[in-house]
Structures are given as structure tokens and as C-alpha cells.
């Protein structure tokens, strides 16, 4: 067991895993040795090159999560990073906090809202924080805009419209054992645009839909989920939300377009229309005709936001203070994500074409980029636009929603 005591200004960390996405964490943490030190990881394969590389760096390598927790203590390690599969988040986070550690939990926090509520309760009772790594909420552009919205400079927020198309090859949907799954081994996964690559888009839309801390709370939702690839879940989604304070939030996302359309959030307020592109480029058109353009000159790519997030969370934990985004702040996002699956009967298979891109063969929905933009502009679901293959979802009241699934018989019949 490591006996080296905690240093006042260095956060000692352990991590579940050491390869794949965990490898990116190892690289990022190595860039801030003045703030943190990764001391231990786990591996499923002791002979894996990633595990061997960790040993060469002097890290302790354990063969299971239980072994790691048995050999570490909160006196020698403050927090554990959990960058594992979606379906495992709840089990690992709960176990780690029960043993007295803070958690840095990869987004999405968990698959279903009842598990999130259990983690919220655990966080409140334990005094340990479960920080969620929605890194783009930490970006300079998003934070500056949130501050200005909170100041009342633009007046009341009326609508938020969010749109993105990211081309993904067929191989993307077979990259891991849980990719594109709705359910696996009796546990919910709900992998798709809303729960994985473009979860950031929904989180950002809800975050910018309120001047208050955290995210706006959805109370009513309608959604349509579509499927082009050979997966259980969705790769294209369109969602319309009404928040507790009456703000309209509209979301359209797809992994099935031939052209990249970056994340864009457009916020309409009493005094301006604000367009934030790729979490960084800001364009403001005021009601009197004035325009303002801003960009984040220090931002190179998405890894910049990740570094900002990691540093911000670590600084908070060093002072034993609550990070900006924890399981509690993510509850509105979970309402939107689970609510969308309740609204849709099931992901609807739609006609597609195929083409070869640099990353391989991809399936695409002809015209999905333009269709998504039209839907966002008019705040109309695909079925309301008369799209031949579109199927309307069921309106869902989320005011007292506490369990997925509890509305849609399609999902209730498949409950564990």
C-alpha cells in the first residue's frame, strides 16, 4: 500500500483503466504535475502494453477495481477517475465514494435517472464529490457567455436552438462492446447522440438556457430518435423541450451526414440573438442592429477545454470545494436524455446511402444537415416537417419524473 502522505497542493489520483480513453487522461494529467499525481491504475490484462507503460512510469497497476480500492486509502489518494463504459459508471462511482474517495466520472454520468438520484443522495451524505466531465462547459467561450447571461445584459432568455452533424463511419459503431447498445447484460446503456458524442451539445444547450447556476430543468419534452447504422440505439435525434422557466430548447444531432456541421448553440434573448459555434466562436446580433464577434484566441482544439476542466476540478478538490458540474447539476441533462427515449417508441430505421470517407465506409441520410437546420430554425420535429420516414414521439411530462422507464411500454417491457 502506498504510504506517501498527501501533499497540500498536489492531488493524488487513481484511475480505473489505463488504455483507450484512460490513456488520454494519463497524457493530460502528466501536463499538470504541479497540481496532481496519478499514482495507480487498473488493467484487465497485466501484459497489455498500456499497463506495462504505466509500470515503467512508476505507477501501481492493479488487476481489478476491488484490488485497487483495497490497497489505496483516502489518506494517500484523494480521488479516482472513472473513464469506463456507460453501463459501468454507477457501480464504480458508488463503490469508490463509499470507500471515501472523490470521483471524476466520465460523461454521461449514468444511464438512468434513478441511478443518478442515488449518486446525488450519496454525494450529499458522504461529503465526497462526484464531478462529471462535461469538458466543454468549462471552455472560455461558454463560461464568458454564461457570465453575461447571468448578469442580465441580454435580458430574459427565450429560446435555445442547438444543432450538429458529425460524420461517423460504420466502424465507429463497432469500436467497443457497448457502442450503439440500448441494453446490455440487463443494464441500460442508451448509447447514441444524446448519451455519448453529442451529449455535450445537449448539456451546453441546457446550461445556456438559464442564467442560474447549472442547467435549465426540462418539464415537457417531445423527441424522435432515428437509426441508420447497424445498431440498437439511435444515431440521429431531434428533441423539443420546455424548461421550468418557460424557455424553449430545441436540439438536432446526427452522426449520419456527409459534411461536418460543428456544434452550434443559438440563444435568443430579449435584446439579442447569440450564436456560439464549437464552444468558442461567439457572434452577437443586438436588437438595435449592432454586432459583436468574439473568439477564444488561446483555444487550439477540444483538448484545450479538457485541460481547463481537469485543472478546474482538481483545484476545487484540493480545497475540498464542490466542482462546477457534479451529479447534482447533471439531473436536467438526465431528464432530457431519458425523456427522449421515453418519448420515442424506439429508434426508427430510416433510408440511407453509403459512401467512403477518409475513416472508412459510412452510412448517411441524404440531406440530414439541411433537414436538421430547418428543424432547428422552425423548432419543428421531423414528423412535423412532413419527412416521409419520420415518426412522431409521444409528449412526456417530466415534472415528477424519477425512473427510466416509467412511461413508454416499449422500454418498460425490457426493464431489468
User: 63 is in which domain, residue-wise?
Assistant: 11-107
- Domain co-membership, 186 together with 71: no
Burial 282-309 (b: 16+ CB within 10 A, else e): bebeeeeeeeeeeebeebeebebbbbbb
Q: For position 1, what pLDDT does the model report?
A: 40
- Mean pLDDT, the chain, rounded, equals 95
Q: How far apart are the first and last CA of the chain?
A: 38
- Domain co-membership, 186 together with 102: no
CATH number for the domain spanning 77: value is 3.40.50.720
In a domain? residue 333: yes
Query: Is the pLDDT score of 297 beyond 70?
Result: no
Number of domains in the chain: 2
In a domain? residue 211: yes
In a domain? residue 277: yes
Report the C-alpha gap between 311 and 299 in whole angstroms.
15
The DSSP element (H or E) to which 371 belongs, if any, is helix 368-378
- Domain co-membership, 375 together with 264: yes
In a domain? residue 1: no
pTM of the full structure: 0.96
Q: Is the peptide bond before 405 cis (omega within 30 degrees of 0)?
A: yes
pLDDT tier at 303 (50, 70, 90 boundaries)?
A: confident
- Domain co-membership, 30 together with 162: no
- Domain co-membership, 266 together with 163: yes
- Domain co-membership, 80 together with 202: no
- Domain co-membership, 220 together with 338: yes
- Domain co-membership, 260 together with 392: yes
pLDDT tier at 3 (50, 70, 90 boundaries)?
A: very low
In a domain? residue 123: no
- Domain co-membership, 79 together with 158: no
Report the C-alpha gap between 360 and 288 in whole angstroms.
48
CATH number for the domain spanning 333: value is 3.30.360.10
Q: Which of 89, 107, 125 is the last residue of a domain?
A: 107
Mean pLDDT of 79-90: 97
In a domain? residue 253: yes
In a domain? residue 317: no
In a domain? residue 96: yes
The DSSP element (H or E) to which 139 belongs, if any, is none
Amino acid at each position: 500500500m502506498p504510504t506517501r502522505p498527501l501533499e497540500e497542493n498536489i492531488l493524488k489520483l487513481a484511475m480505473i483503466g489505463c488504455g483507450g480513453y484512460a490513456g488520454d487522461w494519463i497524457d493530460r494529467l502528466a501536463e499538470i504535475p504541479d497540481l496532481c499525481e496519478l499514482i495507480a491504475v487498473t488493467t484487465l490484462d497485466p501484459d497489455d502494453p498500456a499497463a506495462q507503460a504505466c509500470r515503467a512510469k512508476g505507477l501501481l497497476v492493479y488487476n481489478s477495481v476491488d484490488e485497487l480500492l483495497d490497497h489505496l486509502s483516502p489518506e494517500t489518494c484523494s480521488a479516482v477517475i472513472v473513464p469506463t463504459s456507460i453501463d459501468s459508471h454507477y457501480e464504480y462511482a458508488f463503490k469508490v465514494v463509499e470507500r471515501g474517495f472523490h470521483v471524476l466520472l466520465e460523461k454521461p454520468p449514468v444511464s438512468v435517472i434513478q441511478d443518478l438520484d442515488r449518486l446525488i443522495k450519496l454525494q450529499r451524505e458522504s461529503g465526497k464529490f462526484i464531478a462529471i466531465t462535461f469538458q466543454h462547459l468549462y471552455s472560455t467561450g461558454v463560461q464568458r457567455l454564461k457570465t453575461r447571461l447571468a448578469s442580465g445584459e441580454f435580458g430574459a432568455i427565450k429560446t435555445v436552438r442547438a444543432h450538429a452533424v458529425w460524420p461517423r463511419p460504420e466502424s465507429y459503431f463497432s469500436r467497443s462492446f457497448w457502442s450503439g447498445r440500448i441494453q446490455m447484460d440487463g443494464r441500460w446503456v442508451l448509447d447514441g447522440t444524446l448519451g455519448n458524442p453529442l451529449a455535450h451539445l445537449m448539456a451546453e444547450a441546457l446550461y445556456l438556457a438559464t442564467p442560474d447556476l447549472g442547467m435549465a430543468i426540462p418539464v415537457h419534452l417531445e423527441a424522435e430518435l432515428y437509426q441508420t447504422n447497424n445498431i440498437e440505439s439511435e444515431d440521429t435525434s431531434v428533441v423539443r423541450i420546455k424548461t421550468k422557466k418557460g424557455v424553449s430548447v430545441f436540439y438536432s444531432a446526427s452522426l449520419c451526414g456527409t459534411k461536418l456541421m460543428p456544434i452550434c448553440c443559438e440563444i435568443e434573448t430579449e435584446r439579442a440573438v447569440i450564436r456560439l459555434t464549437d464552444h468558442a466562436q461567439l457572434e452577437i446580433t443586438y436588437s438595435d442592429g449592432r454586432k459583436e464577434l468574439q473568439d477564444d484566441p488561446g483555444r487550439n482544439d477540444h483538448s484545450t477545454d479538457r485541460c481547463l476542466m481537469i485543472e478546474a476540478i482538481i483545484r476545487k478538490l484540493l480545497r475540498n470545494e464542490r466542482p462546477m458540474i457534479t451529479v447534482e447539476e447533471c439531473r436536467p441533462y438526465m431528464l432530457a436524455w431519458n425523456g427522449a427515449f421515453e418519448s420515442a417508441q424506439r429508434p426508427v430505421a430510416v433510408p440511407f446511402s453509403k459512401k467512403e470517407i477518409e475513416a472508412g465506409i459510412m452510412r448517411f441520410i441524404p440531406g440530414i444537415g439541411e433537414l436538421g437546420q430547418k428543424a432547428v430554425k422552425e423548432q419543428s420535429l421531423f414528423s412535423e416537417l412532413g419527412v416521409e420516414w419520420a415518426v412522431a414521439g409521444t409528449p412526456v411530462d417530466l415534472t415528477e419524473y424519477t425512473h427510466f422507464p416509467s412511461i413508454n411500454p416499449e422500454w418498460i417491457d425490457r426493464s431489468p
